[in-house]
Structure 1
Amino acid sequence: MRLQLKLYITIGTAEYFQYDFSTVKAATNDFSEENKLGQGGFGAVYKGTFEDGNQVAVKRLARDSGQGDQEFKNEVLIVAKLQHRNLVRLLGFSIEGSERLLIYELLPNASLVQFIFDPTKRTLLDWEKRYNIIKGIGKGLLYLHEDSRLRIIHRDMKASNVLLDAEMNPEIADFGMARLFNTDETRGDTSRIVGTKALHGQFSVKSDVFSFGVLVLEVIAGQKNKRFLSGENIEYLLGIAWNSWRNGTTSDIIDPILKTGSCSLDDIIRVIHIGLLCVQENAIDRPTMASVIHMLNSFSITLPVPAEPAFFMHNNINPEMPLLHEYSSSTGSRSRLSQHSINEVSVSIFVPR
């Protein structure tokens, strides 16, 4: 590998490098579209292959973060201290001019969004795998909130920021990314994150709890939290899940793929209940991630009754909005799914607290 080492630091047993920018640029084929793995709130991610065959994931941060080189290095080294089995491992970084690159380990199964929302790949995720994914995400967030050296609020927790290893274990990406930008950053894709802070007040760990609840419902339903027509109302998955739980028909939102297995529907419904507790409108009513993990690990605990979720809404029918149909029993896919949504990121980033 043609690598110019500018900075070398050891934290515990881990080694971190500053990579030569031209080397990373060549490894990603000049950040080509065919190497692009996805787009997040803080920038695009590319697959990189070095001359020795070593593959990595390269996060190309949105430009003009407002930081100098040394300040950026310091922030990266702070984030690099965060070590957990459910966090993606940071290998190093690169700086040139306004370019800021983060180099991560490349996980073989890409992101959760490429599985859970795909009609074919979703069949590979039985309840055991989905339950393991849900718990793994929860443990990663708990570490960020309470057990790490820093108190980290993810702020952009969604399916595309959950990566899967060879055994389908989840690893959270983009943790600590907010530290790499000034708090008044408003340009590019980051504006939709920081902009919500300006609209709705300060973020807290309960913002991540809300996002986690959205993810729980998406993983169980196999559907994004988008707008659908349900009866005479326009609703989101959160609203549909809430109405189903309140009406005693919670099993209706469960991915039919899960109903064909040997798992207990009562267990799945209990996890839906936990998800609804996480998305309650008042942040104070949402559990901490420590409580969430406790509830997920113990099925003997009596769960409190959830209140109405945030952003629960009933609007008049838009005749151009596709209907929310039942899954096809043969294919496991929905017909005429709505293509309308607030934006390409999880509704969770609009949490008021």
Structure 2
Amino acid sequence: MSKEKKVMRILYDGQVYAGQATGGINKYFNNIISRLPESFSPYLTIATKYQNHEITYPAHPNLKTFKYARFGFRPGRLSYWIEKYYFRFFSGLYEFDVFHPSYYSLLTRQDLNKYQFPVVITVWDMIDEIFPEQLDPYGNLRRQKQKAIVSAQAIICISENTKKDLIERYSLPENKINVTYLAADIDSSLSYGSEPVPDRPYYLYVGHRTSYKNFDGLLLAFAKVVSVRPDIMLCVVGPYINKAEAKLIAELKLWDYVVHYEYATDTHLAKLYRCSVALVYPSKYEGFGIPPLEAMSCKTAVVASNCSSIPEVVGEAGLLFDPDSASELADILLFLLDNPTERDRLIAKGCQRSKAFTWEKTVAQTLDVYRSVSIK
């Protein structure tokens, strides 16, 4: 007879939903919670804002949510003060088997070591530790993160590279750390709508463009490509183009070759992937790297950096390059334009490789972690 309880109660602190309307972490927890077996009872605490109707929350037949309308009454300081006690009350209302916060800080504003039930933390990357001067100059996030990591009974990393980086920076037993890969939420079946795509052959860039993402390096390489193939374009999906980026685009005389979509729906993004020559992913560090996996799922070629976790995701299904070499990237981009047969081969390999990454597998491995630490 199985020793597993008939019902396992999992508490999820929904801090991440208060911080962003959409994003990779939201999707991760939506997929985990929504795919839990019906023998599980998930509990989710959420701090809502007035105009947050665009946020997608998880769905599960046993899901119980405890919502607090942030700044729902005045004065705002009083509302903010009450909020932590509201969440502390609900966190103490039941005996939970596992606590899985969505971020390193909590809506209760308590440290994780205050909780009497096992804690599982997902560590996404070591970006703040590797690029502290750019992303966490005062060390606030690193201190929060360190407290969470030390307090957790089990840690989930989203790649072997993140696990390696974590072990290098913290004195942790390796058997405390589990690797569960992510999965794509879109594929080529979504890509046949009426959404617009550039009317010339184009390379695609998707996501934020913070300094370590190496967008400047892509622009330098792309300028070399345009000098040889002026029929090609660069399609950029992500936040508005800032002043520094606009200045570099102007200096490189690329404005006639760049098209920008600040936001794209899943169906639009899938079509932009499929219709592109390739996704270009020049990042110098990623905890996982969802865009290359989405690109492979949407049947386009992938050109990506050869560092951090990216080779784990792409494998031999893409063309990898040194992110510090704009010339190497330019040569690869030109090679793909001149060799459509090689592009077709990469697309076929990528489509096959993408099938190895599924949310079903991610959830099954996450459940193994929950069971390993849950109260007996």
Q: Do the two structures share a fold, i.e. TM-score over 0.5? A: no
What TM-score do the two structures reach when normalised by structure 2?
0.25
